[in-house]
Amino acid sequence: MKTENSTCQTVQPLVPLCLRHAILGMVAGTLALSLTLGSALAQSSDPIRVGAVAPKTGALAGGAAVTFWPNIALWEQEVNADGGLLMEDGTRRPVQIIEYDDRTDPSETIRSVQRLANNDNADFIIAPYGTGLALAAAPIFDRLGYPMINVSAITDQVDTMTSRYDGVFFTLGETTPLAQGIAEQMVELRDAGEVGNRVAMVNVADAFGIELAQAAGVIFEQNGFDVVYNRSYPPTIQDVSPVMSSVIDANPDVFVAFSYPPDTFALTEAAQIQDLQVDAFYTAVATPFPSYRERFGDSINGVFGVGGVNPDSERFIEYEQAHIEVAGQGPDYWASAVTYASLEVLAQAIEGVGAPDRDAVTEYIKNNPFDTVMGEWVFEDQRINNYWTVGQWQDGKFHGIRATGDLEGAVEPIRKEGW
């Protein structure tokens, strides 16, 4: 016991006691003020309260800043510019967004959803961003009885999820069809004599990359492709030029990379610098980002990527303009528009029911078609089955060229002519 006493005595106050109390008092005062302000605001108006939980810090903050948050802001503005959502009694109620940062930590995602439901009395909660964070939150959405329209949750376990959770929906697609899309596209192009038979595959060694690479590899081999190179690289890779050198040494006709944002940029850059000459070049996530076009300009004409949109549709052009106005940046050509579409579904369902009644909204989503920026959406078994799997940069726009169902606006792939 003596030791503890001595450690205490070594602590000398460096700041006068009164100053310390003043600082603590200020901190406590600020906290108390913000608490009262928060509750006062909540009572003064009658908006529909919509919670949003996604990373603002942590590993996924960058992705959320492109795909998630701008669409929330845009949706809030568009809905409220019309006066709000039309209720059964003919009145309009604006939407009020309550935002939380989950710091890319699933515990915090769960906690924030709880907080939104219990403390903030949110009428609805937008599905979190990122596969892991969204799936972790699904049980709590289910228990609290909130419908959950997922976008950035790509999984092969959609069947298990939808059979366990009644109000959980999926919109962006499943892992295997996304990989099959590009593999089947290459089979078609080869059979038409457009591309050669030698394929080089690389993938980021993370759940997403591994799952896609395996699904695609099976199809390439079944169709008699010669897989001349197949390697993974770590997600934290700094220098991809050795990878690109090995790819070039293998002399492929087709290059397929199941990559994440940083390496999508790095691989494309390395391919240009080291002059990889292939008939088809594919990179995955972030290929449809406007920043990809800004970085590489016209040289990416003919580059294939994951996902896609119909950039010539009236709805998309309108959406793109509004997005630029609100966010100061364009939407990406895949998940951004789907995120916005998921919010349109929520708005149309609430108006269809005519009240912020969560159970009725869930039922409405299951049984009605929706008119969205992605075209008409009908949920079958709580999921959208028509989605873009492969797109291609053509004259500065990223066009969907292949989809799981019949989607309007699919274009023919063009041939890639050098860099």
Partner 1 sequence: MTRKEVIYAVLVLAAFAVLAFIPSLPNSAAVLSLVIPITMYTVLATSWALFSGPTHYISLATAAFYGVGAYMMAPALEVMPYWMVLPIAALSGALLAALVGAMTLRLSGVYFVIFTLGLAEMVRQVITWYQNNFAGTRGNYVFVDINDAQIYWQLLALALLVYLVGWLINRSRLGFAIRIIGNDELVARHSGINTARAKILLFMVSGAFAAVVGAVMTPRFVYIEPAMAFNPEVSFLVVIMALLGGVHRLWGPLVGAIPFALTWEVIASNFPAQTVLLMGIAFLLVVYYIPSGVAGIMEKVYFRARQQRREVSHG
Binding footprint of partner 1 on the chain (CB under 8 A)? 3-5, 7-8, 11, 14, 20, 23, 31, 34-35, 38, 56-57, 59, 99-101, 103-108, 110-112, 114-115, 117-119, 131-132, 135-136, 138-140, 143-144, 155, 157, 160, 164, 203, 205-207, 210-211, 214, 232, 234-235
Q: How far is the CB of 352 from partner 1 (least distance, A)?
A: 29
Strands 168-170 and 148-150: parallel
Q: Measured from the CB atom, is 63 or 391 closer to partner 1?
A: 63
Instruction: Answer whether 240's CB lies under 8 Å from 264's CB.
Output: no
Q: How far is CA 121 from the centre of its chain?
A: 26
Q: Measured from the CB atom, is 58 or 196 closer to partner 1?
A: 58
Q: How far is the CB of 315 from partner 1 (least distance, A)?
A: 31
Q: How far is the CB of 248 from partner 1 (least distance, A)?
A: 22
Q: Measured from the CB atom, is 11 or 192 closer to partner 1?
A: 11
d(CA 338, CA 388): 10
d(CA 88, CA 353): 7
Q: Measured from the CB atom, is 51 or 375 closer to partner 1?
A: 51
Q: Measured from the CB atom, is 140 or 219 closer to partner 1?
A: 140
d(CA 324, CA 256): 31
Instruction: Answer whether 393's CB lies under 8 Å from 415's CB.
Output: no
C-beta neighbour count of 57 within 10 angstroms: 12
Q: How far is the CB of 219 from partner 1 (least distance, A)?
A: 15
SS3 296: helix
C-beta neighbour count of 199 within 10 angstroms: 28
Query: Distances from the Cα of 398 to the Cαs of 98, 240, 356, in angstroms?
Result: 33, 25, 37
Q: Measured from the CB atom, is 14 or 18 closer to partner 1?
A: 14
d(CA 25, CA 28): 5
Q: How far is the CB of 35 from partner 1 (least distance, A)?
A: 6
Q: Measured from the CB atom, is 144 or 187 closer to partner 1?
A: 144
d(CA 319, CA 373): 7
Q: How far is the CB of 281 from partner 1 (least distance, A)?
A: 23
Q: How far is the CB of 98 from partner 1 (least distance, A)?
A: 8
d(CA 267, CA 209): 14
